[in-house]
């Protein structure tokens, strides 16, 4: 056994390993012939002052003029590298974005119908919008009939409605892109729409002659008879399917249905809760349909194909006789066979909700 141990000790090793003392370890950032005396290294644990000393010398070393362990030349090389890297990365990213934009159709969405982002479980279901709306995230219409100007005044509500509806009173400014669709057969309209034409819609089309919902009459806000404009949100390619018989109409408006409504999308407003319905005595709907009990938008205004100068048709709902100094919750619904009704506040489809409060 002793002979084996002696024989093992005499075997030459292929490489000799050198163990250096800790004090002679060098950093690759410094010359080999220089000992690191700017960093405090101990065999015992470092104190707080030692850590502060090392941090201060790391941030700025007065002896070597290094900032964060690098001198001016090292920082210049690093900055040049990242500048070139980010520039090349920006060029590549921009080229992908440019190619993507060039491949997109600026007029027609890539996904339509049930593949659209607007489609729900039962397909596309348009909603309603209303004006005036002073703030896009609020649905409360509040004003004082005795206050002419300022906050929560008659002028504030009137100006908001007039600013939104000012374009409806203008003559066609899109090089005769608007046509009278009432005299054109429905099967021919789609061809005109694809050519960029759209149906003309003026404020006088809603109600020819004297209209209580007009700026000269302050849209009724000075007398506590507010007018609210209701419009169907634009959905590309959506075509309404109106009711063709009384049996298809929902029970809540079945008693109002007439054969003339076969070519109309119906809109009606009422109180959301029984208490609101008791405090809303009369609501007049002013539209092309000509029926105060319910409003209607002709189907020849659809589909919307992103035509230049397209004007959304709307319906006026005038709350002729309602209680003041009471918060009224209003629901306005659009009715057609392919409009799904949902009055859930978090998932409002086929309807719009707002509140009215005036003094």
Q: What residue segments make up the domains of the chain, in order of their start?
A: 20-67, 127-358
Retrieve residue 196's tokens: 């960029």
What pLDDT is attached to residue 61?
Answer: 78
- As beta bridge partners, residue 67 has 60, 70
Q: Are 270 and 253 in contact (CB under 8 A)?
A: no
Retrieve residue 249's tokens: 């109409």
CA distance 257 to 244: 10
Report how far Cα 148 is from the mean position of its chain's Cα atoms: 33
> 127-358: what CATH class?
mainly beta
Q: What angle do CA 161, 167, 173 make, to 5 degrees?
A: 175
CA distance 326 to 302: 38
Q: Are 237 and 303 in contact (CB under 8 A)?
A: yes
User: What is residue 20's DSSP assignment?
Assistant: P
User: What is residue 223's DSSP assignment?
Assistant: G
CA distance 263 to 181: 13
Retrieve residue 44's tokens: 């015992």
Q: What is the DSSP string of 128-163?
A: EEEE--SSTT--EEEE-TT--SSTTSHHHHHHHHHH
Q: Are 196 and 177 in contact (CB under 8 A)?
A: yes
**How would you write the pLDDT of the chain (359 residues) with one tens digit per residue?**
555 555 545 555 454 444 444 444 445 554 544 555 566 666 667 777 777 877 787 777 777 778 887 887 888 888 899 999 999 999 999 999 999 888 888 888 877 777 776 766 566 788 899 999 988 888 999 999 989 988 889 999 999 998 888 777 666 655 557 888 888 888 889 899 988 888 888 777 787 777 889 888 999 999 999 999 999 988 888 899 999 999 999 999 999 999 999 999 999 999 989 999 999 999 999 999 989 999 999 999 999 998 887 888 999 999 999 999 999 999 999 999 988 877 566 667 788 999 999 98
Please say whether the dihedral angle defined by the alpha carbons of residues 35, 41, 44 and 50, taken in this order, is positive or negative: positive
What pLDDT is attached to residue 72?
Answer: 78
CA distance 118 to 237: 12
CA-derived radius of gyration, the chain: 38
What pLDDT is attached to residue 346?
Answer: 64
Pairing mode, if any, of strands 140-143 and 178-179? unpaired
What pLDDT is attached to residue 245?
Answer: 92
Q: Are 203 and 169 in contact (CB under 8 A)?
A: yes
What pLDDT is attached to residue 17?
Answer: 41
Closest CA to 165 of 315, 323, 280, 61: 315
Taking the chain, what is the end-to-end CA distance rounded to the nearest angstrom? Answer: 112
The answer to pTM > 0.75 is: no
CA distance 277 to 261: 25
């Amino acid at each position: 056994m002793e002979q084996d141990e002696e024989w093992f000790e005499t075997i030459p090793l292929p490489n000799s390993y050198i163990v250096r003392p800790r004090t002679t370890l060098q950093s690759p950032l410094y010359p080999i012939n220089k000992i690191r005396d700017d960093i405090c290294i101990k065999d015992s644990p470092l104190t707080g002052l030692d850590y502060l000393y090392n941090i201060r010398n790391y941030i700025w070393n007065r002896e070597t003029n290094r900032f964060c362990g690098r001198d001016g030349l090292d920082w210049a090389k690093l900055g040049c590298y990242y500048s070139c890297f980010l520039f090349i990365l920006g060029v590549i990213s921009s080229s992908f974005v440019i190619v993507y934009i060039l491949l997109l159709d600026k007029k027609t969405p890539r996904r339509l119908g049930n593949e659209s982002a607007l489609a729900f479980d039962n397909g596309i279901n348009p909603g309603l919008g209303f004006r005036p709306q002073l703030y896009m995230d609020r649905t409360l219409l509040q004003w004082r009939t005795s206050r002419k100007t300022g906050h929560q005044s008659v002028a504030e509500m009137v100006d908001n409605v007039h600013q939104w509806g000012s374009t409806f009173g203008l003559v066609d400014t899109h090089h005769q892109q608007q046509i009278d669709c009432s005299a054109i057969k429905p099967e021919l309209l789609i061809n005109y729409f694809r050519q960029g034409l759209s149906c003309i819609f003026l404020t006088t089309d809603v109600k020819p002659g004297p209209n209580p919902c007009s700026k000269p009459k302050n849209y009724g806000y000075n007398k506590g008879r507010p007018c609210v404009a209701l419009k169907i949100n634009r959905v590309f390619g959506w075509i309404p399917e109106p009711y063709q018989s009384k049996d298809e109409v929902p029970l809540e408006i079945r008693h109002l249905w007439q054969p003339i409504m076969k070519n109309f999308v119906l809109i009606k407003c009422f109180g959301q809760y029984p208490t609101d319905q008791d405090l809303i005595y009369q609501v007049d709907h002013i539209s092309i349909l000509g029926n105060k009990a319910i409003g209607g938008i002709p189907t020849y205004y659809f589909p919307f194909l992103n035509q230049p100068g397209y004007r959304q048709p709307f319906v006026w709902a005038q709350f002729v006789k309602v209680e003041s100094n009471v918060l009224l919750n209003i629901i306005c619904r659009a009715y057609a066979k392919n409009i799904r009704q949902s009055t859930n506040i978090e998932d409002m489809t086929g309807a719009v909700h707002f509140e009215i409060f005036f003094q």
